[in-house]
Amino acid sequence: MFIKELKESMLLPQEEILINRRVYIRGIPAHIISLTKEKHRNALWVLYEGASGSSEEMEDIYEIDGEERIGNKTNRQDIVDPMHRERNARNIGFISEITIQNQKLIFTSSQGYHLHDRHYEGYMQLQHFIEKGLDLEGLNEINVNNLVIQCYAQDENPEFPEIDLSKALDITLKIGSDFKRELMDPPMASIQLRFKEYEKEHKFSFFDPVENENIEFYINKMEHYDVWEETKKRVEKEWPKIASKDEIEQIKGELFDTIEQICPKGMDLAIMEYESEKDVQLNFYTTEYLDSKPIHRSSSVGMIFSPENKLGQNGFTNRICMLKPVAKDFNEAIEIELLYWFREIPEEIIHI
């Protein structure tokens, strides 16, 4: 590292307002440190304990682009193991706004700095805040490796608030809504799907231990989707209005390269439509995929599908889940599993 790079990583604010207040955010004790004005941004700094426990080393072998690496034996483990570790991690979410003495700052990005041996930036920042008067009483017995300094930034360099320190700061924080992955625990039994439209109220359910209630979901159909032909039609219909022929051919080439990684040419995608109470998003996988050995690649791609009808036949938001590529004449049942779902965490307003 060069001196100029070290200097760029230092916290050298032009102005700073020390807040030094303890709050609970998403049920997690946090310390609102200060607001800083730097050369290129304004930022809010927060300190909290972000982890408990340590992840275990994996000892199994997987492949990445054909090369064997250390990792999990199945795709199921590849998905589930990180989610088990997430349960020991803590995250206060994204603070989207702070209002201080009736002056509002809206944040557009955030970055976390963990205080462990390899992240010297976090230590330099903590030293700066201690020198400015950060009160660390009550944190003496916390493992430093678990601490996180979170920075929420205004990247367009707006005006820094003018604060009268002789008056109460009168602070309000707004934490934006978010989604949390919830693993099916215990796992649900697998479901056998056939290529057909199902009758209304083809119903299943799972238990939500937080709300102590069952959530029902409905599978409406499973069908073939010719992703190659549909993509070609969409490009030829929409892009001539805004692009030249050469540009369209380039776009088609790039799109088809992406599709090739998901669905080989000459095959269809098996997709299913479902809806659920509370309009929660569910993530289904084929049992075949979950039980197979992972082959990791240096890059990954995904696709987003929009159903023709916004509402399903049971009155909830209609959603599509991609299952797997299949031959065009494939008509056998596919075994699927609901592996996890997304819980919505509502917006939170905190007055300090």
pLDDT per residue as tens digits for the range 257-283: 889 989 999 999 999 999 999 899 999
Burial of 96 (0-12, 13-18, 19+ CB in 10 A): middle
Inside any domain, residue 289:
yes
- The radius of gyration of the chain's CA atoms, rounded to the nearest angstrom, is 25
Does residue 151 share a domain with residue 203? no
Q: 345 near 178, Cβ under 8 Å?
A: yes
Average pLDDT over the chain reads 87
Does residue 117 share a domain with residue 201? no
The residue to which tokens 């997987």 are assigned: 62
Q: Is 182 helix (H, G, I), strand (E, B) or coil?
A: strand
Inside any domain, residue 59:
no
Residue 194: pLDDT band by 50, 70, 90 thresholds?
very high
Inside any domain, residue 44:
yes
299-350 pLDDT tens trace: 566 677 788 889 999 999 999 999 999 999 999 999 999 999 999 999 999 9
Does residue 233 share a domain with residue 214? yes
Nearest to 249 by CA among 262, 235, 230: 235
Q: 272 near 219, Cβ under 8 Å?
A: yes
Residue 181: pLDDT band by 50, 70, 90 thresholds?
very high
Of the chain, the percentage scoring pLDDT greater than 70 comes to: 89
Peptide bond into 294 cis (omega under 30): no
Rounded Cα–Cα distance for residues 166 and 199 (Å): 68
Inside any domain, residue 341:
yes
Which CA distances in Å does 346 have to 26, 96, 105, 178? 10, 13, 21, 7
Burial of 341 (0-12, 13-18, 19+ CB in 10 A): buried
Does residue 249 share a domain with residue 114? no
Q: Is 6 helix (H, G, I), strand (E, B) or coil?
A: helix
Does residue 133 share a domain with residue 186? no
In this prediction the pTM is 0.80
Please give the residue range of the domain that contains residue 230.
181-345
pLDDT at 71: 56
Inform me whether the pLDDT recorded for 165 exceeds 50. Answer: yes
More confident residue, 86 or 200: 200
Does residue 159 share a domain with residue 14? yes
Which CA distances in Å does 49 have to 46, 149, 288, 325, 351? 10, 9, 39, 43, 21
pLDDT at 297: 65
Rounded Cα–Cα distance for residues 287 and 74 (Å): 11
Does residue 172 share a domain with residue 186? no
Does residue 288 share a domain with residue 304? yes
Inside any domain, residue 137:
yes
68-121 pLDDT tens trace: 445 558 999 999 998 888 877 788 999 999 999 999 999 999 998 888 766 778
Does residue 147 share a domain with residue 7? yes
More confident residue, 9 or 82: 82
pLDDT at 60: 43
| Contacts for 296 with CB less than 8 Å, ≥ 6 apart | 62, 63, 64, 65, 69, 71
Inside any domain, residue 320:
yes
Inside any domain, residue 79:
no
Does residue 188 share a domain with residue 161? no
Inside any domain, residue 185:
yes
Count of structural domains within the chain: 2
Among residues 125, 159, 176, the one where a domain terminates is 176
Does residue 249 share a domain with residue 124? no
Does residue 156 share a domain with residue 20? yes
Among residues 120, 144, 176, the one where a domain terminates is 176
